[in-house]
Structure 1
């Protein structure tokens, strides 16, 4: 979570911002948790929408850091590769990668916020409009809260639940990370280093 905070430049947050973020995440815990029915649970519905497709998560100037968090949560918890990018940058080159049949194997997740500039909002609308016919699906997830801290943390928290439900959907235990543990073991001297 500290990387997410650093990415939104929330290095110093006052008590009101922290209180709001805690309130937002506490509300989300009820809305996204196991006891919440699928019809009312955004995280469960989004995991079902992604299904077997590769998640491609795009954020805006504030939410791009959260998009990267979604990517790492998908990879660590659901054990699936994911893409993370940022609008407007993805409008320059990456948009071309959405041509062709392989795009049907990807699901776009757009991380939005009420405070977007009109230019960024227009770019997100264009992305959704242009990718919807090509992609295997397009979803939007909106940040919660008024402050920057609450908005970014609400998206980061949602990613934990979406990646958890995607793991369950794929029949994968989200908690063990054997490949990561092996890398750590080898890097810590558990294996002799080889010369290049």
Structure 2
């Protein structure tokens, strides 16, 4: 080893807290490049304090679950045949997580809506939950008006904005959450109040799972926070290995929405192109493209989200096969295992790890994680059409 290099990693599994494992290769990092351990440099790049906000995730879960205590709904499970959770971006991911989490636990089907409209089957026996951190997402507001037209049972969750006004016009329940955050950093305030709504409606008893999620994210935080050196920090190591490559994240089962979350966080925080896919579906198409384009696939860093303690044997075989294949064609392959007691805790473990990794990648690239100017520009352009004001007038006529 050269004097200006430090050893980082091993050729076998590196264990972190609990059951956390990151499959890593032997790499050498010049000391001059160890900027992820320079807190002053991190603060100079992360000027809006995104990492500080992410660090507070366990407390945010606890705080957001407190909204459940004051929540009283004018309906219950007996009044509900199906559920629509409407949202976009950082709001919609909460719906994805809940849909996957409750797929084999709730006997009421859940649909995640990322559109201006809602499915034809929505009716007065549909629970429509509108999620918009700002309260001004026009697709969600459009879906809200259609839900009101169909006489759905409506609950809105936002920090304010037009969604709060729409709920007032429609006589619907509105859950007011903490303001002044980036939507993608406000997941706790969207996900856990939504679980609270389902709990209050008698759809799913959530409290035990929420407590375990707080415990798990609190447990892993010391390992992945910015004060922990890169040599001991799996989130920093993942960012280091992704740097200069295109992240491709694979999930399965309850980790499919977590893979989607990782991709979105790399897009917005790190400002990089990233992709996600899901098993077993990708085994029926995606792998063919990977096997036939070696001149392109070396540009990718592949991340496999795993849960070896709970994977079905067939899924383990598929993931092992994918790892071996990707090792021969991709620029790098990283396997990350979940940890925690219960499905929600295990999902939050991997989500939390990915949130940190995306911010560390932003630091390596020298970009502030918070600004998303291109999205703001598009919203402004679309907003010039005046749809939201027309929707409000339409809602008044309906109600």
**C-alpha separation in 2, matches of 1:189 and 1:45:** 43
Shift in Å, 1:15: 2.0
Q: Say which of 94, 118, 126 aligns to 2:321.
A: 126
**Is 1:2 paired with 2:196?**
no
CA contact (8 A) 1:7 1:65 kept: no
| 1:77 paired residue number | 269
Q: Say which of 299, 304, 316 aligns to 1:105.
A: 299
**C-alpha separation in 1, matches of 2:289 and 2:263:** 18
- CA gap of 1:54–1:73, structure 2 versus 1, over 3 A, is same
- Write out per-residue CA displacement over residues 66-93 of structure 1, whole angstroms, 9 at most, x where no aligned residue: 0000010000000001110011111111
Q: Say which of 14, 30, 36 aligns to 2:228.
A: 36
| 1:194 paired residue number | none
**Is 1:167 paired with 2:350?**
no
**C-alpha separation in 2, matches of 1:127 and 1:13:** 36
- Write out per-residue CA displacement over residues 175-196 of structure 1, whole angstroms, 9 at most, x where no aligned residue: 11100111111122279xxxxx
CA contact (8 A) 1:4 1:156 kept: no
Shift in Å, 1:13: 4.6
**C-alpha separation in 1, matches of 2:95 and 2:223:** 25
- Write out per-residue CA displacement over residues 14-36 of structure 1, whole angstroms, 9 at most, x where no aligned residue: 32211110011112221111001
Shift in Å, 1:43: 0.5
**Is 1:156 paired with 2:248?**
no
**C-alpha separation in 2, matches of 1:71 and 1:3:** 16
RMSD (Å) for aligned C-alpha atoms: 1.7
Deviates more, 1:4-13 or 1:53-62: 4-13
Q: Which runs of 5+ in 1 are unaligned?
A: 192-196
CA contact (8 A) 2:97 2:254 kept: no
**C-alpha separation in 2, matches of 1:17 and 1:138:** 31
Higher helix share: 1
CA contact (8 A) 1:4 1:153 kept: no
SS at match of 1:111: strand
**Is 1:184 paired with 2:379?**
yes
Shift in Å, 1:134: 0.7
SS at match of 1:55: strand
| 1:48 paired residue number | 240
Task: Give the alignment's TM-score, normalised by structure 1.
Answer: 0.92
CA contact (8 A) 1:112 1:142 kept: yes
- Of structures 1 and 2, the one scoring higher in RCO (CA 8 A, sep 6+) is 1
**C-alpha separation in 1, matches of 2:256 and 2:375:** 24
**C-alpha separation in 1, matches of 2:330 and 2:97:** 31
Q: Which runs of 5+ in 2 are unaligned?
A: 1-92, 103-194, 196-203, 387-399
**C-alpha separation in 1, matches of 2:277 and 2:266:** 14
CA contact (8 A) 2:97 2:258 kept: no
Aligned residues: 192
